[in-house]
Amino acid sequence: MSNSDIYQNELTAHGIRPTAVRMMILKAMHMFDTAFSMSDMEQAIETVDKSTVFRTLALFAERHLIHDIDDGSGSVKYSLCMGDNSPRDHMHVHFTCERCHKTVCIRHVQVPMVSLPRGFTLHDVNYVLKGICPDCNKESV
Ligand SMILES: [Zn+2]
Ligand SMILES: [Zn+2]
């Protein structure tokens, strides 16, 4: 299977019609090793106009191909959802490095479950840890 087949399958598996632009944006997403912002994506694919990038990211998020992370930086970051399409996949913690300002998914660490008082319904959890990432820790040694 070629790379473009993989991207095509990834889109159709999420109920997204694979267009050339969507494939291009998905491919660019796979290039990021950390969560990316809207402007990171714009810089990665300069040939696609801003509103198309915006609409595509919104569609991908709606179909759970990507998830958004509010890391407190002021701009929403996005990251690919891995593996299953279950809500559990989104319930992992995120880590923001205070030095290099990169945000990563810590996929194997689940958000601790909280029990809410009566009358509250939980829809979303934004669990962002802050500190120094392994790369920056290495530099300071
Ligand atoms: Zn760092
Ligand atoms: Zn994540």
Ligand nearest to the CA of 108: 2
pLDDT tens profile 82-98: 755 555 555 889 999 99
Ligand 2 centroid to Cα of residue 105, in Å, is 4
- The CATH number of the domain holding residue 41 is 1.10.10.10
Which regions in the chain score pLDDT beneath 50? none
pLDDT value at residue 23: 95
Which ligand is the nearest neighbour of the Cα of 137?
1
Q: What is the pLDDT of residue 87?
A: 54
- Domain range spanning residue 136? 3-140
State the ligand closest to the CA atom of 111. 2
Question: Which of 1-40 are b and which e, b meaning 16 or more Cβ less than 10 Å from the residue's Cβ?
Answer: eeeeeebbebbeebebeeeebbbbbbebbeebebbbbeee
Domain count, the chain: 1
Instruction: Give DSSP secondary structure letters for 10-41.
Output: HHHHTT----HHHHHHHHHHHH-SS-EEHHHH
Query: For the segment 1-19, what is each residue's pLDDT rounded down to a tens digit?
Result: 678 899 999 999 999 999 9
CA of 68 to the centre of ligand 2 (A): 8
Q: How far is CA 125 from CA 37, 54, 89, in A?
A: 19, 23, 12
Q: What is the pLDDT of residue 3?
A: 81
Nearest ligand to residue 96 Cα:
1
Find the 31 Cα to ligand 2 centroid distance in Å. 16
